[in-house]
Amino acid sequence: MFNLPDLHQIALMLPAIIIGLTFHEYAHGMVADRLGDHTARHMGRLTFNPMAHIDPIGFLLLFIAGFGWAKPVPVNPNNLTGDARQGMLLVSLAGPATNMLLAVASAMALGLFGMQIPYGREILGWMISINVILAVFNLIPIPPLDGSKILAGILPGRQEWFYQMEAYGTIILLLLLFSGVLGSVLRLVIRPIVQLLLAFAYNLNGPFI
């Protein structure tokens, strides 16, 4: 289930992991800040400094398990202007959406000039893969992942299941992880998206082979 990368592979993956996690959490904090909740700013989380966002376990799992997480940015829904549920939906969407934008931008960079620079193909390839992984993984509707807050914001009424599940969400995720179920399901979604972006990149560079 787990594959330990060698030092060379770690070096190629590292920029993608640091950028993907940092931009994901910064996006959450920035949207919350724009919507009136300045908690992230006051706690020093509205920053591009990766040390403010890296969760050691989630960071290591991205290397060995293929998916992981950062430290969640604190958000107080009571401070959000307007509808708090809709505000939380936008805040939660910001992270995965940013990762997908990074994946698309990386595919464009790979196609336009990534083939011509040393290790450009490998580094940008990891930028695509890691950011798609972060986007898809965080859209799983299990607390504390973003997908649960997005679903709670879309469904009508007060979502009691969300509050009840919060206490067990991490345990459920770990069980799914170590059973291998989570990895198998995620790969079914992640692989076609990555292949599509790689095809897009190679078409920008020339005929895709």
- Preceding peptide of 50 cis, ω within 30°: no
C-alpha atoms less than 13 angstroms from C-alpha of 159 in its C-beta half-sphere: 17
Q: What per-residue string of b and e applies to 39-61 under the rule 16 or more CB within 10 Å gives b?
A: bbeeeebbeeebebbbeeebbeb
CA dihedral 69, 72, 73, 75 (to 10 degrees): 140
Among all residues, which ones are annotated catalytic? 25
At 35, list the tokens.
Answer: 């919507």
Which conformational region is residue 117 in: left (phi greater than 0), alpha (psi within -120 to 50 degrees), or beta? beta
